[in-house]
A and B are shown apart, each in its own frame.
Chain A
């Protein structure tokens, strides 16, 4: 204690200050300890933090299998000399495939036209059966046919080229990111170099963060007294895009920088750049975010990235700074200014010459007024595609694997079908029919069953109730041909001229009520040839014939023709009290139009992986029906419906007298109007009515047939082929006398018969002639049977 007292100079110490007293001489040690503590803390906190960031960034980079929407393509248009196609259709097809008209077709994806001469520069494309390089060809139209076609450059089969198909829809993943993946090697050089010139000139040299860029940005921002330049490297921007956060905090910046360095540590520049060009946010379409330059190019310019001009590349590069700010559709002036600014940078960095810059600047922005439809250009058809694919693919695969789906749609015919419906219904309104009529229209290829066009609403492109697939409506007289088909299969009882009775008939139904069908004209026509009952669509005769062949057989027949629905086994079904959808009716008539070869209607032909490997093909398969001779006879009768029966106004509506087979259909109280018609190669079904099934004042002839005719005014019409199959022949007969005759005899008409069902006796006229020249007649009638 005294010792303590003897040291008065010493400052009083607090108890426990011995440490401090002891530490004083070790100030260095104290600093060292602090440092150690900090390092300890650093190691304890930062290292796990960095490791955590590393895991995150690597997960994101490597584990990120981009969910790529599937792309749905129309059928590729085949062009060859002799192909029937109008100039209007060819232009529509080129437009649908995203081709641009230019003074010279110097770049892929462009064409020039001079009168009837087309010069088309076809893009390289992976078709369902392999990839084809770009090729340039010229063709000349003459009338509505390709007269000559020649490949100018690039490989191509002489005389046959395919246009790359129109992209008609995308099937999106759940989180709604839309992108078209591009490989770095397919990205235009100017975009790669330009991007670095504008966004990150040190890209090749830095390790994720560029202090020089930060300094340069700092100076620029100070000068401008606002943030005009960012110091982020492309790698940092990529990180930022990965985690999509716009938070402007220091911690985020630090994280971003650390992650950028880590990315550079793990991956090479090319990998980072490729990820960048596919990841960068480039705009928004509804709920779909546009990611990457590949999709941006399609979204803004409706063309692939490889086809872009310098000024378009400059715009995309400029938009990296702010896809909304420089959105060329919403802020065109600002976008133009930014594009030109970028072009100047291209000039400063030596990427473009002054002449090229001046030329580029002289162009407008060049963006399409409307973006390529995000969901689907033809929603009703794509609905059918989805339903077909649902059988083989999970919904999640369709929306994430970037599949290429090749369909059967013909864009020009789809456009015509949509117009036929919208303009047709407008015309019907002018004619005093309800303004809110609805319609559906299906067009398919007879032989292959490929659906070429499908309309499910009066408003083109509206995605809602798809009447073509889902409107189940009574089909009325459209069912009658099947009743007569069944009758003609009974060779011993019926041929086309067999007399049938069209007279009042009353039947007691299951509920005890009496059913007495009447004819449309409220008259009965007595005894008439079977064919006439169909041609004039007489109800009473049809019921008589139908009862003799059996309602159960009719139902069986509908199933045989590929339509699986429950149909009540009641006599009213004979007159079409049967509810079917337009697509089902198309299926039913496809078999008839194809001469008794049933093909399931198809909308998809193949599905490929994004790289072009085949996943599935849906090949042409068909099934011959039995009794094809009866089908051939029926086809003949259906051509008579158009020539002289309920559809005889059709030729006038078409302005064309080519042989067509058809049938009208009207239901009770004029609620539904149907028309089914086929040419040699096309079958189409049109329906018109009101959604709530109110009486609509429509008949088959006054509404649906008009819509049908509007479509067929635009597509090639080939005459129905009435050549008879084995076992059926055309024979000269006198219908009134039910007897064989000669062309020179009065009342002689040529009608097809199944062998053995021809009339057994001859007209007097024929007997007289037979006496004169027995031998020649013998040869005429029976010579064919040897």
Chain B
């Protein structure tokens, strides 16, 4: 009996929830999506292949602050920290990629794409960062209605682990 009442109660709550006129949640790229579609698979892909430049301590500090702001959902603040860091190290591929991921979360897909491309251009073009570059490009293209480009980028991400750096 008790269980039945509980179930009924739950049902009523569910029905009420369904009836309530909550505005539809915008289908943006959330923090979680960046984690599941960009960061986690890239980290998995890399499996130990990481080509990171040594970061200046000041840049490291600002990156950490940006990450905290991002985790708290304060994306403008996160961008601000990253921009400060970019003034110190304008050619740091990790900073550029981090900015691209923030832009994704802000649904600024064109800039997300541009930052990821720049990060790739001046980055190591292999390893985890490369994979994050292309996965970001893929997600951004998807939102920019470029399905073919998105799947190309997705495929390109998987090649980050077996492509040797070029251009030296």
Q: Which residues of A contact B (CB under 8 A)?
A: 78, 80-83, 128-129, 157-160, 445-448, 450, 595, 597, 617, 619-624, 628, 680-681, 721, 723-726, 728-730, 784, 786
Q: Interface 1/0s, chain B 64-98, versus A by CB < 8 A?
A: 01000000000011011101101110110000000
Q: Which of B77, B86, B90, B164 contacts A784 (CB 8 A)?
A: B164
Q: Tell me the complex Cα distance, A446–B118, Å.
A: 14
Contact: B84 with A78, CB < 8 Å? yes
Contact: B83 with A622, CB < 8 Å? no
Say whether chain B's binding surface is mostly helix, strand, loop, or mixed: helix
Contact: B118 with A726, CB < 8 Å? no
Q: Tell me the complex Cα distance, A159–B58, Å.
A: 6
Contact: B167 with A723, CB < 8 Å? yes
Report A-chain residues with C-beta under 8 Å of the C-beta of B168: 723-724, 730
Known: A447-B90, A448-B90, A725-B121. 14 other contacts (CB 8 A): A80-B57, A160-B58, A445-B90, A450-B87, A597-B118, A619-B79, A620-B83, A622-B114, A622-B115, A723-B168, A724-B167, A729-B166, A729-B167, A730-B167
Contact: A159 with B57, CB < 8 Å? yes
Nearest CB in chain A to that of B58: its residue = A80
Report B-chain residues with C-beta under 8 Å of the C-beta of A158: 61
Q: Tell me the complex Cα distance, A623–B108, Å.
A: 13
Interface size band for B: 20 to 34
Contact: A619 with B83, CB < 8 Å? yes
Contact: B166 with A726, CB < 8 Å? yes
Given contacts A129-B77, A624-B114, contact A78 B58 (CB under 8 A): yes
Given contacts A159-B58, A160-B58, contact A721 B114 (CB under 8 A): no
Report B-chain residues with C-beta under 8 Å of the C-beta of A446: 90
Sampled A-B contacts (24; CB under 8 Å): A78-B88, A80-B57, A81-B58, A129-B84, A157-B61, A157-B65, A158-B61, A159-B58, A160-B57, A445-B87, A597-B114, A619-B83, A624-B117, A624-B118, A721-B91, A723-B122, A723-B168, A726-B120, A726-B166, A726-B167, A728-B167, A730-B168, A784-B164, A784-B166
Q: Tell me the complex Cα distance, A628–B120, Å.
A: 13
Contact: B86 with A725, CB < 8 Å? no
Contact: B125 with A81, CB < 8 Å? no
Question: Quick one: which of B81, B122, B166 has the most chain A CB within 10 A?
Answer: B166
CB A618 to nearest CB in B, in angstroms, measures 10
Report B-chain residues with C-beta under 8 Å of the C-beta of A729: 166-167
Q: Tell me the complex Cα distance, A346–B139, Å.
A: 70
Given contacts A82-B56, A617-B76, contact A622 B84 (CB under 8 A): no
Q: Tell me the complex Cα distance, A83–B168, Å.
A: 27
**Which residues of B100-140 are within 8 A (CB) of A?**
111, 114-115, 117-118, 120-122, 125
Q: Tell me the complex Cα distance, A729–B125, Å.
A: 14
CB A598 to nearest CB in B, in angstroms, measures 10
CB A665 to nearest CB in B, in angstroms, measures 27
CB B42 to nearest CB in A, in angstroms, measures 18
Contact: B121 with A622, CB < 8 Å? no
Q: Which of B61, B118, B125 contacts A622 (CB 8 A)?
A: B118
B161 within 8 A of A: no
Q: Tell me the complex Cα distance, A681–B88, Å.
A: 10
Report B-chain residues with C-beta under 8 Å of the C-beta of A628: 121
Nearest CB in chain A to that of B120: its residue = A726
Nearest CB in chain B to that of A129: its residue = B80
CB A592 to nearest CB in B, in angstroms, measures 14
Report B-chain residues with C-beta under 8 Å of the C-beta of A81: 57-58
B62 within 8 A of A: yes
Contact: B87 with A78, CB < 8 Å? yes
Contact: B111 with A621, CB < 8 Å? yes
Report A-chain residues with C-beta under 8 Å of the C-beta of B84: 78, 129
Nearest CB in chain B to that of A728: its residue = B167
Report A-chain residues with C-beta under 8 Å of the C-beta of B62: 160
Contact: B90 with A160, CB < 8 Å? no
Contact: B80 with A681, CB < 8 Å? no
Question: Quick one: which of A81, A450, A619 has the most chain B CB within 10 A?
Answer: A619
